[in-house]
Copies of this chain bind each other. A is one copy, B any other.
Amino acid sequence: MTLLANPEQRTPSVNKAAILRQHELFQELDKDSCEQIAAYAKIREFRRDATIFSKGDDGFCLFAVVRGRVLVTTSSSEGKSAVLNQFEKGDIFGEIALLDGRPRTGDATALTDCCLLSLERRDFIPILTKKPEIAIKLLEILSGRLRRTTEQVEELMFMDLRGRLAKTLLRLSGGAPGGSAELSQSELSHRVGMSREMINRQLQVWSREGVLTLARRRLTVLRPERLEEIATR
């Protein structure tokens, strides 16, 4: 790995405890306990497009995002792929395989250069026993995840392209007028789970209707309420 510009990235001796405390999972924990856990955590850097783990791997650890963005995808035997989830600063991921000891359910790749904290199973499980408030917090996080995934199943079963695209755009743009997302239409097609061509055609329609504006790798939602309407119908 070449040296990076930011000095923090070269020194694994940054204050891990402080980073941990920023995370949802450890927020209600006292300083001492945080430092204790931090002692077990490893800092790991990944370059843009690097593979963090692959579907089918044995999953020994859980990750927390310190900086950057991570994409979790899955792919079929015929090479099609779809986005399952995206994580940013403050999120944790990789917990399923860690908790039930079975293989990874998806591929994780670095969407940008990023800095992650990893905690191994053998260190993490005892923490859960000693600090049940962390286990409870984790249960909440997992519930939210399950809720989101269930919603995704519903979307796939009941909604057509327009609805799913509308919903995805609202998520990506933040839902406020003028909110925008930076990605290519082919990236977008993978998130929605449809062909690039169809995505393009629908975007054209909305562009003509003044619902959004299109530019190269950028998409600005002008009237989110219209998308909302379409998504909930």
Residues of chain A touching chain B, judged by Cβ–Cβ distance below 8 Å, are 74, 76-78, 80, 82, 84, 95-96, 99-100, 102, 105-106, 125, 128-133, 135-136, 138-140, 142-147, 149-154, 156-159, 193, 232-233
Residues of B within 8 A of A145 (CB): 146
Specify which of B133, B143, B147, B156 is in contact with A129 (CB 8 Å cutoff): B133
A25: shortest Cβ distance to chain B, in Å? 12
Pick from B84, B125, B158: contact of A153, CB below 8 A: B84
**Nearest-CB distance from A194 to chain B (Å)?**
10
Q: Which residue of B lies closest to A158 (CB)?
A: B76
* Shortest distance between the CB of A220 and any CB in chain B (Å): 28
Q: Which of B102, B125, B146, B193 contacts A136 (CB 8 A)?
A: B125
A106 to chain B, nearest CB (A): 7
Question: Which B-chain residue is minimally distant from A153 (CB atoms)?
Answer: B152
**How many copies make up the complex?**
2
Q: Considering the chains assembled together, what is the distance between the CA atoms of A129 and B74 in angstroms? A: 35
A-B contact pairs, 30 of them (CB 8 A): A74-B150, A74-B154, A76-B157, A77-B158, A77-B233, A80-B157, A82-B157, A82-B158, A84-B150, A95-B143, A96-B143, A99-B140, A100-B143, A105-B147, A105-B150, A106-B150, A128-B135, A128-B139, A129-B133, A139-B139, A142-B142, A142-B143, A142-B146, A145-B146, A146-B146, A146-B149, A149-B149, A149-B150, A156-B157, A157-B193
Nearest CB on B from A134, distance (A): 9
CA distance A232 to B76 in the complex (A): 10
Cβ–Cβ < 8 Å partners of A78 in chain B = 158
Are B136 and A80 in touch, CB under 8 angstroms?
A: no
Give chain B residues whose Cβ lies under 8 Å from the Cβ of A105: 147, 150-151
